[in-house]
Structure 1
Amino acid sequence: MKIARKTAAAVAAAVAAACLATGALAQTKALRLGHGIAEEHPLGQGAIQFAKILEKKSGGKLAMKVYAATQLGSEAQMIAAVRGGVQDIVITSTAPVATMIKEYLLFDLPFLLQNEKEADALLDGPVGQKLLDMAQPKNMIGLCYWENGFRQVTNSKHEVKDLAGLSGLKLRVMQNPVYIDAFKTLGANAIPMPFTELYTAMESRAIDAEENPIAIIHSNKFYEVQKYVTLTNHAYAPYVVLLAKSTWDKLAAPEREALRASCTEARDYQRTLSRRMTSELTNKLRKEGMTVTPLAPAEVQKMRDKLKPVTERYTAEIGPDLVAQAQQELAKLRK
């Protein structure tokens, strides 16, 4: 009888523990985060950190599963999935967001930003917040901005030391009107193409050139199919963290605050990592056999001058007031 009682007690304890565990699991909300970049890239590492921070700040109430390297689809597909409530979070470059929120073209204006300090001030200030708020009517909540970085030009043909070196290059650009117009104006044959098709197009020599931040150039092994890098810094590319509004609406106030705070903390980690790795990876590209050419200030100015009509054209589309606000904030910083 004693043995039977002990067995019964043990079974009861096990059932109780299982119930508690099930209850704990039921209380944990599982979120799916997708992005398009390799896990070793600063974005990939930042996303992993984001998940760890969120679990801690939410007291275990929010758990995040990260799907890297387009596992959940292209950036455009993931944005659509977030808008539809099928996916909880996407971290995406701002260029595809601009197809539905034209004001996001602000970040694509050539040579708008000169350094990371200016980028942080603009993105984390009133202008950046105004753009985040514009995501809500599109069924998304803008949480914060991370760093993709300053964009550089690579090619397989020849060293590009000046504006003339771009002439005639078949150069892949994002499916974004500002980039298409800008590189056509600079004399390149701008070819819009999804990122997922880029490596194969370079490998087959269907295109000669492309433009991306250093970390993307390295993590995607473009050095295998490209010989030259020119440090143009022609645009600064941010990432934006977007949450499905349907997910947001189901969260309690403390969970919402945990999400925002976690995004910001992970942002600072990711930006620091991105900037350190950009310098390290530039040297690694040299070791992989690429010729890295900084663009002389006089040549940068030639590009700026050439692209002024492009900036003016898209300022009208983005909204003159928003562009003026951004330029005023930047002018204060430069003083």
Structure 2
Amino acid sequence: MARNSWLFILSMVVLLLAGCGTRVIDGQQVDKKDKIIIKFSHVVEENTPKGLAAIRFASLVRERSKGSIEVQVFPNSQLFKDGEEFEALSRGDVQMIAPTTSKVAQLFPQWQIWDLPYLFDDLDSVHQIIDGPLGRTLLEQLRQKSMKGLAMWDNGFKQLTNNDHPITKPSDLQGLCFRIMSQGILEEQFHYFGADTLYLPFNDVYQSLEEGRAQGQENTISNIYTKNFDQVQSYLTLSQHGFMGYAVIVNEEFWNQLPSQARELLETTLAEVTLWERDIAKKLNDEQLSELQKRNKIKIYTLDSQEKRFWKEDFALVYAKFVQENGADFLNDVKQSIDLAGNR
């Protein structure tokens, strides 16, 4: 990793470990002998937006609870791969996870709304939808599976990489095999243009690209950079075609057994960290794109606004697939909310 990037990551770690004045739990409210342990499992590197946010959350909780609540963070699939996390949460092997919204969509189809290509023009619109009634409604759905959705984090927009040829238009996808993180809309967006797909856990992607089982993948700059995909991919298209978000989820039974003061502290701290994470996501993606350009191992093509409009038009049938599964009213409500958000 380049020296400048290491300095940037180090500065982020210093910031996230710095305490902020806020309410703490009194020692009488949570007995020290009944220390609360929360195992927080996720699948990405520590120096990613999600990884740094998880560390900051754990640090602030420890400080504000005076050590009576300990969030133990297990990054990079140390405990479970992304396809195993929901079951682990259900069993109580972990208490908190932060899967992509695409993973949640395997349980709740309406969550595929976050996967629709070019639905959002910018991250401000995404955040307003997340923070509004729609975001709260989708998080509430998780209770049907004995989970509680606490927050949504983001990692910006996804880009396309492959090792065969530059991708400048949707038809360039034809004949390639792309790794996808879940079925449904993500699968449809590639199949529609004649590409094959391969479902793989995140930590298996590098090897599949290196071995040629998949020729390409979609991901944010942060994940492309921290996983060194530019070492096994030749072309990067800055398409910004889809949002990548994470749902911060806790086992509902575990949550309900916590003292009310502990729940309040966790929710308040997580809300603060969520806003911090959004800023870090943008900074890291910008910083690490610059590092990819400096490394000069991958050829980068940027879609302009007109090209993006053409891509969105070509993805019309993908939207039709979503409507078939979730209804036109739901999609129209979301689009209306996005329009309102854009006018604020």
Same fold per superposition (TM over 0.5): yes
CA pair 219-137 structure 1, distance change in 2 beyond 3 A: same
Tell me the equivalent position of 1:90.
97
Q: Could you tell me which amino acid in structure 2 is paired with residue 294 of structure 1?
A: T
Partner SS, residue 240 of structure 2: coil
Q: Among 318, 323, 334, which residue is 2:326 paired with? A: 318
Tell me the equivalent position of 2:278.
271
Point out the structure with max Rg over C-alpha.
Answer: 1
1:258 shift after superposition: 1.1
1:68 shift after superposition: 0.4
* Number of aligned residues: 314
Normalised by the size of structure 1, how large is the TM-score? 0.89
Does the 8 Å CA contact 2:83/2:201 hold for their aligned counterparts?
no
Q: Among 253, 257, 261, which residue is 1:250 paired with? A: 257
**Equivalent runs, 1:96-111 vs 2, <5 Å:** 96-111=103-118
Does the 8 Å CA contact 2:58/2:70 hold for their aligned counterparts?
yes
Does the 8 Å CA contact 2:170/2:314 hold for their aligned counterparts?
no
Q: Among 168, 173, 179, which residue is 2:175 paired with? A: 168
Partner SS, residue 111 of structure 1: coil
1:24 shift after superposition: 5.5
Matched, 1:142 2:171: no
**Equivalent runs, 1:23-172 vs 2, <5 Å:** 25-172=32-179
Normalised by the size of structure 2, how large is the TM-score? 0.87
Q: Could you tell me which amino acid in structure 2 is paired with residue 310 of structure 1?
A: V
Q: Distance in 2 between matches of 1:40 and 1:291?
A: 24
Partner SS, residue 266 of structure 1: helix
1:54 shift after superposition: 1.7
Tell me the equivalent position of 1:280.
287
Matched, 1:292 2:314: no
1:144 shift after superposition: 0.3
Q: Could you tell me which amino acid in structure 1 is paired with residue 304 of structure 2?
A: A
1:59 shift after superposition: 4.2
Q: Could you tell me which amino acid in structure 1 is paired with residue 215 of structure 2?
A: D
Q: Distance in 2 between matches of 1:260 and 1:316?
A: 36
Partner SS, residue 176 of structure 1: coil
Q: Distance in 2 between matches of 1:115 and 1:298?
A: 15
CA offset digits 1:25-58 (Å, max 9, x no partner): 4132111100000111121111000111222333
1:129 shift after superposition: 0.4
The unaligned stretches of length 5 or more in structure 2 are 1-26
Tell me the C-alpha RMSD between the 2 structures.
Answer: 1.7
Tell me the equivalent position of 2:4.
none
Does the 8 Å CA contact 1:89/1:244 hold for their aligned counterparts?
yes
Does the 8 Å CA contact 1:230/1:295 hold for their aligned counterparts?
yes
Does the 8 Å CA contact 1:170/1:189 hold for their aligned counterparts?
yes
The unaligned stretches of length 5 or more in structure 1 are 1-19
Q: Distance in 1 between matches of 2:174 and 2:304?
A: 17
Q: Could you tell me which amino acid in structure 1 is paired with residue 33 of structure 2?
A: A
Q: Could you tell me which amino acid in structure 2 is paired with residue 298 of structure 1?
A: Q
Tell me the equivalent position of 1:228.
235
Tell me the equivalent position of 1:330.
338
Partner SS, residue 76 of structure 1: coil
Partner SS, residue 172 of structure 1: strand
Q: Could you tell me which amino acid in structure 2 is paired with residue 82 of structure 1?
A: L
Q: Distance in 2 between matches of 1:221 and 1:304?
A: 29
CA offset digits 1:215-243 (Å, max 9, x no partner): 00001110110111101111101101000
Does the 8 Å CA contact 2:43/2:203 hold for their aligned counterparts?
no
